[in-house]
Amino acid sequence: MKLFPAIDIKNGQCVRLRQGSFRDVLVYSDLPLNVAKRWEASGASFIHVVDLDGALVGHSVNEDVIKDIVENINIPIQLGGGIRSIKDIENKLNLGINRVIIGTKAAIDPGFMREAISIFGPECIIAGIDAKDGIVAVEGWERLSNYNAVSLALEMKNVGVETIVYTDIAKDGMLQGPNVHYTEEMVVETGLRVIASGGITSLKDLEVLEEIKVHGAIIGKALYENKIDIKKAIKMFE
């Protein structure tokens, strides 16, 4: 199981939100690059970066900060937040990002994902499925769509997506454990490579996720609050 330390960027700072709320923000660092270097030095093999401002407004906002990270660390990066056009994807990959996560655009226009995969390949394009009680949220999680999460995942599979990041919004940033039920349903029903996100708090949580055969796990607040030792976790699960 692959582990992805998370760096969420808002106003150029490394932050965590609670349940995806832009009104409930905790700043952990003014220098996201230093955080990225710390995860790299701890043995991380991949970093998960989100441009939170970009997710909200629909275009890249923190590109200078992201570029700084890309140019100064030597491990791959997956990036989400406000990537909603072929040009956006091209720009991010040219910047040195290894793969992009498409959320809102995937939910409102599955055909876009088919086009993106035909151009860039399935290894560079991930669908981000963020859900609350099984219903997909879009636009920086500010609005619920009409989609059931598993149904959207199956539609993504039909257009060529191989990997999804599945986030349970109610669990995100709450340090209360992941939503194992919905995550396992996603793994079993879709057969996709599922990267679980939201609520992961302990090594035990990671053990449970490994048991249900998720492809990877994104760890955010638990790292910043020293609930999980990333070196130990990497040794155990990677």
Q: Which residues are known catalytic residues?
A: 8, 130
Cβ–Cβ under 8 Å, residues 175 and 209: no
Q: Please tell me the distance from the alpha carbon of residue 105 to that of residue 92, in angstroms, as a whole number.
A: 16
Burial bucket for residue 131 (CB in 10 Å: 0-12, 13-18, 19+): buried
User: Hey, how many other C-beta atoms are within 10 angstroms of the C-beta on 13?
Assistant: 18
DSSP β-ladder status, 13-18 and 2-10: antiparallel
Calculate ∠ Cα 89-6-96, nearest 5°: 35
Element (DSSP H or E) covering residue 8: strand 2-10
